[in-house]
Structures are given as C-alpha cells and as structure tokens.
Amino acid sequence: MDQKIRAKIIGTGSFVPSRRMTNADFEKLVDTSDEWIISRTGIKERRIADADMFGSDMASNACRNAMEMAGCSPEDIDVLIVGTVTPDYRLPSEACVVQEKLGLVNAVAFDIAAACTGFINGLTIARPMIETDPTKKCLVVGCEKLSSITNYKDRGTCVLFGDAAGAAVLAADTNGGGIISTFMKSDGRLGELLWQEIGGTKNPYTPENVYNGRDKLIMSGSEVFKVAVREMSIASEKVLKDAGLTGDDISLVIPHQANIRIIDALAKRLKVDKSRVFINIEKYGNTSSASVPLALDEANRQGKIKPGDYVLLVAFGGGLIWGAALVKW
C-alpha cells in the first residue's frame, strides 16, 4: 500500500446561472448560424449571469456544493484559492470576497489570474500545502463572468464564452489516492494572442476606450488553436511520464472546454478514445477558469469517475499559460 501523503479531492461542486443563451440568440446579434457555430466550436448554448450576479456569487454556490459533498464546514477550510480573470473588484481580491460570503474564518484566501488554467494552477499550489501539513483542507475554485468582457459584436469570439463556477475540496490521503503529478508552463511572448487590452494601469478605462470596445476580450483564434493543441499535449505527456503511465492507463480525460476541435485534436495526439474524454462544451461554452472544475464536478456526479481511476485534467489559457494535473481518484 502506498503510504505517501497526497492531496486528494474529497468533494466537488459547481454552479451555472439559469439564463441560457442559444445559438439562435446569436443569429439575431451577428452574422452567424447554428450550423456554423456547432461545426466550428461544438457549442449549442451557454449560461449568462444576470446583471446583479457576479463571480463571487457563482463561486460561493459552487464552494458550498463542494463542501457539502466533502462533509466540511466553513470552519474546516484552511486555504481558499480562487482562479478568475473577471473579479468583482480590483481590490479586495475575489478570494477575500468569497471568504466573507462563505464565512471561512480560519482560511487564508488569495487569487490566481491564470485564465483557463487557473483551477489547475490552484491544485498545483494546494498540493504541497497539504503534503507538508496533512491537517490542512484547501478549497480551490474557478469562477468567471466572461459575459462582462465579451464583445457581442465580434462574431468570431462572442459565441464562445459563458459564465460559471466550479470548485473542489482537497484533504490529505495516505491510501494511494490524490494528485500524483502536476505541470505548469507559460510563454508571455504570446500574451497578445488572447488578451484584454485595457483595464490595467498601462491602459486604463476611458470613455473612448470603452466606446471602441477595447475593454473586451481579443483573441487570435487560429494561432491560439495551434499552440493550445501542442502545449496541452506536451503537458499531458509530461504528467503521465512523471507517474510512469501512458494514455492507456487514463480512465477519463477532462480537458479545458475551449473548442470541440481543440478537444478532438488533443485526444488524437494522446491516442485516447473519445469515449474516455469528458465533454460538456455544448451546454456551457468556454467558461475559462471554471471550465475544468465544472466538467470535473459533472463527471463526478454522473458516476463517470470510480475509486482508483486515473483522471487527467489539462487546460490552456491567456498568458499564454497551460498545465496539467494527474489525479488518482
């Protein structure tokens, strides 16, 4: 029996707004069609938060669901890590806002701005915290209100994004389960392939910038596609090699739900049958840092993950930054 202390996911949770925005809705906004969107992205609908719902609200709901599954009370949580690029405020951090809403009185709380890779980065940071102090419980959440930074006049990007949150509770395990291997990497030289040009101190919000749509997401889709497929494949192979495993050993791959063509290309490169790849992009679109934990929670609650299964989580996002985590359930 493997007695090594590992950080194990003991509860998952997610939350999506009730409002659905279908492809038919986009046909009224831009020059597009249901057939065009599905063939190029795999998306049929996405969830959009109301004006009075924010990332912290979605994150809090996802965290409550994860803590309920884990059998944890707010007082049990020692660390809260929030991945987001659409926080409620510049200051305080989204994590501190969520901490207050959940009553996590014993926790330290902080944010990660790693876009779609935020949840995997959060797992990577939480892992050594638990391995070095097995009494700790960590709550990692990804939440996004991407509708707030989406340009609904840009037919190439507006159909992609949705709002959501997903979370996981981690605790120590000595029975062979938990996070086996992680990998992270970034390349800031490629930052402008996927970015939000204004909103920081270099290019602050001004009426002119907002009027011209410079406060919204800008993406070079074809270039992002090529880098995403290549680097997610390399990251996946890295964590498998570190664990002495191959794609044949993986029970389920849970990739960032960016685009069905990216997911298909990744599965092909890893030589993993599509039946072992979890896909829910058709319902939610690309939810950035919420994407992987949302899919993980759905797969978990649908009974697609069994004790002892090896689960591969992999993502890629703005930065550019990418990473993978290999988990034994």
Q: Which residues are catalytic?
A: 116, 256, 286
Show contacts of 218-225: CB within 8 Å, 24+ apart: 218/157, 218/192, 218/194, 219/156, 219/157, 219/193, 219/194, 220/192, 220/193, 220/194, 221/156, 221/157, 223/190, 223/193, 224/193, 224/194, 224/320, 225/259, 225/261, 225/262
CA 314/CA 308 separation, integer angstroms? 19
Find the largest Cα–Cα distance for the chain. 63
* CA dihedral (165, 171, 175, 178) positive or negative: positive
* Cα–Cα nearest to 269, from 308, 234, 224, 309: 234
